[in-house]
Homo-oligomer: A and B are copies of this chain.
Amino acid sequence: MAINDIELVLVGEELLKGQRPDSHLRYLGRTLLACGLRIARAHVVRDQVGEIADVISGRLEQTRVLLVTGGLGPTLDDVTREAVARALGRNLEFHAPSWASIEAFFHARGREPAETNRRQAFMPAGARAIDNGAGTAPGFAVEQRGTTVVALPGPPEELRHMMQTSVIALLREVFRRDPVRVEIYRTTGIGESDLANKLGHAAEGFSSYEVSWLPWAGGVDIVLTQREATADRSVLSEEAERFGRDLRAAIGRRFYERGERSLFEVVGELLTRKRETVAVAESLTGGWIGKGLTDVPGSSAYFLTDVVAYHNDGKVEILGVGRETLARFGAVSEEVCTEMAHGVRRRAGATYGLATTGIAGPSGGTPEKPVGLTFMGLSWDGGALVKHRVFVGDRDQIRQRASHGVLWLLYDHLEG
């Protein structure tokens, strides 16, 4: 058993039926990693006493902490309490302070708890309660044969609240650990193997970090995670700084962020700082850029307007693209892209105009203009820049690549 092993038991048949995407693993993985703790394994099980108890008893003595999520609600389907008790060979006992908390939760809302809520005040003998604060179900922690079993409710807001207010502290106590260092480097517009070639040995041979490459449609993220054994802060800083410099030297501004921010956030902060604004004219990206920009709270400070002109009439009427330009070059062309970018900028009175036009597929491609062909334009008062690429991938990947591609043109211009 490694010194910092945590295993996860996610209780939820809907995950196994594919009816809902998992969010706990993603949240807990990131949150624990930032505390220097790592999930060694995760198990997803049905909401059945025998199944849950079987997984738990199979992992006792194998892991320091077993974090069980879900199945603590008031209904008969909620069987995690029973399952933990069975796995540990203990009885369930009524816990009066938890019942008082549940009653207080309801009274604060002008209601009385139902009789079924009493189930939630039971926990395995010897367990300590973990206060909920955001809902009715208390969690609990109980130790046996070297393994601490921590049970937490499934609703994400309750789980997250309890992690922040008490469980992280409890886990630090169990493991006596400081946070590990995690460094994220975000790049866009260069494929994984191309990036590896350009970086050469710079991405290898860290003494203090593990390296993970995380390619996605918007680019490649490189994540350095502190190795368990190492603790020398100056080596950690030196290696992180050096890699940032190497990455900059290898790919320039295609490395756009050291940290967690998206390209949309980075561009938003640059625009805010310069008190400049942007307007967007989208064709194949169909609102993706507007949505990405407005995903960021506070974006109304710099984002003015997005015109999704799928149809040529919209390009002419709203964006002022010339009918002759469309007739002569076609909607997917450098010329139309340029006029779209200028048009939306002028129309919206923005500092910058961005435009995309292309073929997202799956149909609509020709030998001259294949699926994936995308023109990306940037307009400002006094100039314009249009680039084109043939993006690979499915419809969504092409649209995401195109959105990042055109946004990067603005990023490069703002930093240039």
Chain A residues in contact with chain B, CB under 8 A? 13-23, 25-33, 38-46, 51, 55, 58, 157, 212, 214, 216, 221, 223, 225, 277, 279-280, 282, 286-295, 297, 299-300, 303-311, 313-314, 317-318, 347-349, 361-363, 394-396
Partner of A314, one of B25, B30, B313, B348: B348
Give 6 pairs: A residue, B residue, CB < 8 Å, sorted on A.
A15-B42, A16-B42, A287-B289, A294-B310, A303-B311, A305-B310
**Contact of B290 with A318 in the complex, beta carbons under 8 Å:** no
Contact A317 B17, beta carbon cutoff 8 Å: no
> A186 to nearest B CB, angstroms?
12
Write the nearest CB–CB distance from A154 to chain B, whole angstroms. Answer: 12
Flag if A39 contacts B16 (CB, 8 Å).
Answer: yes
In the complex, the answer to whether B310 meets A303 with C-beta atoms within 8 Å is: yes
Beyond known contacts A42-B43, A279-B314, A308-B308: 8 more, CB 8 A cutoff:
A16-B40, A16-B41, A18-B31, A19-B212, A287-B287, A300-B311, A305-B318, A313-B349
Chain B residues, Cβ within 8 Å of A44: 25, 41-44
Assess the B294–A308 pair: CB atoms within 8 A.
yes
What separation, in Å, do the CA atoms of A216 and B155 have in the docked complex?
Answer: 11
> Given A308-B287, A349-B313, A22–B19 Cβ distance below 8 Å?
no
Q: Complex Cα distance A39/B17, Å?
A: 7
CB distance from A282 to the nearest CB of B (A): 8
**Docked-complex contact B18 and A26, CB < 8 angstroms:** yes
Roughly how many angstroms separate A219 CA and B346 CA in the complex, as a whole number? 39
Which listed residue (B221, B287, B349) contacts A306, Cβ 8 A? B287
Residues of B within 8 A of A27 (CB): 18
Residue of B nearest to A29 (CB): B18
- Cα A145 to Cα B22 in complex, Å, equals 32
Across the interface, which residues of B come within 8 angstroms of A42, CB to CB?
15-16, 43-44
Distance, CA A304 to CA B308, complexed state (A): 8
Given contacts A287-B290, A287-B291, A363-B297, contact A38 B18 (CB under 8 A): no
A29 to B21, CA, bound (A): 10
Inside 8 A of A40's CB, which chain B residues have their CB? Answer: 16, 46, 51
Checking B23, B51, B277, B318 against A348 with a beta-carbon cut-off of 8 angstroms, the contacting residue is: B318
Residues of B within 8 A of A289 (CB): 287
Minimum CB–CB distance for A63 against chain B, Å: 12
CA distance A45 to B225 in the complex (A): 18
